[in-house]
Homo-oligomer: A and B are copies of this chain.
């Protein structure tokens, strides 16, 4: 009997192929759009999109993962259309995603992303604000100028998603001034509502925009939207795990990054919600000056109090819901299979 092919390996190969194929369709259109910008802004946009270094040299193979554009194109295919029908949507979603990274890094004071300086750190706050504004304007304009009824519906969806995104970000910012301990600590429910807006909304929009541009029915579009929301919540849960236990070599951020910057992420919120002595000890560790010994102890305590297990369980649950939605018989099978591979990939990053 031949040895079984290990499932994760096959998934990674599939996913790499999907992302490469997506990039082949989306990148040329994205680059043409960015080339029309003011040269200074185009330079910063290229840096934010991972195409160029600070010194102007071009950069290959280290772009963002391109997960969102892939979801757009696959959602269009799952709705029975060719992926080409949804390229403008994929461009718009990637631009909005990049806009939100550039502005969120200013708000959060984050200095590093993907092993490089963030845009505000590299070019200054003012130019980073303008770069974000420009990416957002370009996103809206890409769909607005397409001029079809499908594109108009996609634009409506994108603009309501933007309101969800900024509300999620506002909630995240408001969490910063909340205490670590009861009764005013951030609850698990509040955290999940924030994450549904901040990360879930754009992935839900990516899948819905793909379905809309692919001519999907209202019910198929709604199902795709739900799929994207679950994927986003799984993604955020995994990101929260990596924000504490991720390898700095892989994440491009310092070790214990989220603990260091005092972020209230799901493992921490869940651990604090366990109550009792452990939670009190954790709260006082998190309130202390963050040296490496304290951070290591806090990370250990978060795990002990069940924060890691709970967060992993949430990721698996949302993955499960996403996979279940992909079993719907009206979906084109190959595309649904590829979306499932992407979904598994998102969660497997945590292992």
Q: Is the CB of B155 within 8 A of A141?
A: no
Q: How far is the CA of A169 from the CA of B134 in the complex (A)?
A: 10
Interface centre among A126, A127, A136, A138, by most chain B C-beta atoms within 10 angstroms, is A126
A9 at the interface (CB under 8 A from B): no
A145 touches which of B107, B108, B125, B156 (Cβ 8 Å): B156
Q: Is the CB of B126 within 8 A of A107?
A: yes
A41 at the interface (CB under 8 A from B): yes
Q: How far is the CA of A67 from the CA of B152 in the complex (A)?
A: 29
Q: Is the CB of B163 within 8 A of A127?
A: no
- Residues of A74-113 contacting chain B, CB below 8 A: 103, 106-109
Known: A37-B167, A106-B126, A137-B166. A156 touches B147 (CB 8 A): yes
Residues on the B chain within 8 Å of A108, using CB: 126
Known: A155-B144, A155-B155. A130 touches B169 (CB 8 A): yes
Surface stretch bound by B, among A52-60, A170-178, A218-226, A322-330 = A170-178
Residues on the B chain within 8 Å of A156, using CB: 144-145, 147
Residues on the B chain within 8 Å of A173, using CB: 40, 126-127, 130
Residues on the B chain within 8 Å of A17, using CB: none
Residues on the B chain within 8 Å of A37, using CB: 167, 170
Main secondary structure of the interface of A (DSSP, over half): helix
A166 touches which of B126, B130, B167 (Cβ 8 Å): B130
Q: Is the CB of B106 within 8 A of A166?
A: no
- Residues of A113-150 contacting chain B, CB below 8 A: 125-127, 129-130, 132-134, 136-138, 140-141, 144-145, 147
Residues on the B chain within 8 Å of A165, using CB: 137
Q: Is the CB of A137 within 8 A of B163?
A: yes
A62 nearest CB across to chain B (Å): 26
Residues on the B chain within 8 Å of A19, using CB: none
Residues on the B chain within 8 Å of A38, using CB: 166-167, 170-171, 174
Interface centre among A41, A156, A166, A171, by most chain B C-beta atoms within 10 angstroms, is A166
A162 at the interface (CB under 8 A from B): yes
Q: How far is the CA of A108 from the CA of B163 in the complex (A)?
A: 26
Q: How far is the CA of A159 from the CA of B135 in the complex (A)?
A: 12
A137 nearest CB across to chain B (Å): 4
Residues on the B chain within 8 Å of A171, using CB: 38
A-B contact pairs, 29 of them (CB 8 A): A37-B167, A38-B170, A38-B174, A40-B173, A41-B167, A103-B130, A103-B133, A106-B125, A107-B129, A107-B130, A109-B126, A125-B125, A129-B129, A129-B132, A130-B166, A130-B169, A130-B173, A133-B162, A133-B169, A134-B166, A136-B136, A137-B163, A141-B159, A144-B155, A144-B159, A145-B159, A145-B160, A152-B152, A155-B155
Which A residues have a C-beta under 8 Å from some C-beta of B? 37-38, 40-41, 103, 106-109, 125-127, 129-130, 132-134, 136-138, 140-141, 144-145, 147, 152, 155-156, 159-160, 162-163, 165-167, 169-171, 173-174
